[in-house]
Amino acid sequence: MAEHDVIELLVAQHGRIRDLFDEVEQAPPDKVGEAFERLTRLLSVHETAEEEIVHPYARRKLDNGQGVVADRLAEENKAKRLLLDLHKAGVDDARFWEGLAELRTAVTAHARSEERYEFAKLRARTSVAERRTMAAAVRAAESMAPTRPHPGTESMTKNVLMGTPMAVMDRARDMIRKALGKR
Ligand SMILES: [Fe+2]
Ligand SMILES: [Fe+2]
């Protein structure tokens, strides 16, 4: 996927996150762990990209940007906490499916709020060139989160892929800041 507009790219990621929840829920028992890892990686990279790239813009450019972004960050932090707890407990935990359902509800509501209250307004307040620059930074981090099993990239980024969600978020943040020329 090579969207050049950051909003289209992030909305496409919302769609893929939804598909990955479906894949975890529908996976045969021996594939649940792998599917959940892919979901975890994309969620970690996606939310980090929004926090580093899109929210700072929205904070500056939207009417009541501070308030809009504060609400989104509160939702993101809640989802992140649920993800970290669920990842720590693991797919064999007795309450895994309950936790997954709770995470899905939080993530879905959050994505809907972003699209409605943040992205739509941001589109009106940014230029095509700005959205293209932001998309490039999101794509730099996205390479860490293959959503399909892919032997080639697996070996290349093995250390990252095996990491905890926190490690993936840290690494994504570094890649994004580098892409934005911040370090
Ligand atoms: Fe988000
Ligand atoms: Fe999002």
Q: pLDDT tier at 158 (50, 70, 90 boundaries)? A: very low
Mean pLDDT rounded to a whole number for the chain: 89
CA of 127 to the centre of ligand 2 (A): 20
The residues near 75 (Cβ < 8 Å, ≥ 6 apart) are 106, 109, 110, 113
Rounded alpha-carbon distances, angstroms, from residue 165 to 7, 44, 81, 85, 151: 24, 6, 11, 10, 21
How far is it, in rounded angstroms, from Cα 49 to Cα 134? 9
User: Please, what is the Cα angle at 178 between 134 and 66, to 5 degrees?
Assistant: 50
pLDDT at position 181: 84
CA of 108 to the centre of ligand 1 (A): 10
Q: pLDDT tier at 2 (50, 70, 90 boundaries)? A: low
CA of 42 to the centre of ligand 1 (A): 12
CA of 79 to the centre of ligand 2 (A): 11
Which residues place a Cβ less than 5 A from the ion ligand 2?
114
**Is the separation of the CB atoms in 141 and 176 below 8 Å?**
yes
What's the pTM value of the predicted model, to 2 decimals?
0.89
Find, among 16, 23, 8, the residue nearest to 43 by Cα.
16
- Give the ligand at the shortest distance from the Cα of 79: 1
Q: What are the pLDDT digits (tens) for 57-94?
A: 999 999 999 999 999 999 999 999 999 999 999 999 99
CA of 48 to the centre of ligand 1 (A): 8
pLDDT at position 14: 98
- Tell me what the mean pLDDT of segment 101-129 comes to: 96
Reading the block at residue 173, the tokens are 């943040």
**Is the separation of the CB atoms in 176 and 56 below 8 Å?**
no
CA of 51 to the centre of ligand 1 (A): 7
Find, among 70, 74, 71, 9, the residue nearest to 42 by Cα.
9
pLDDT at position 41: 93
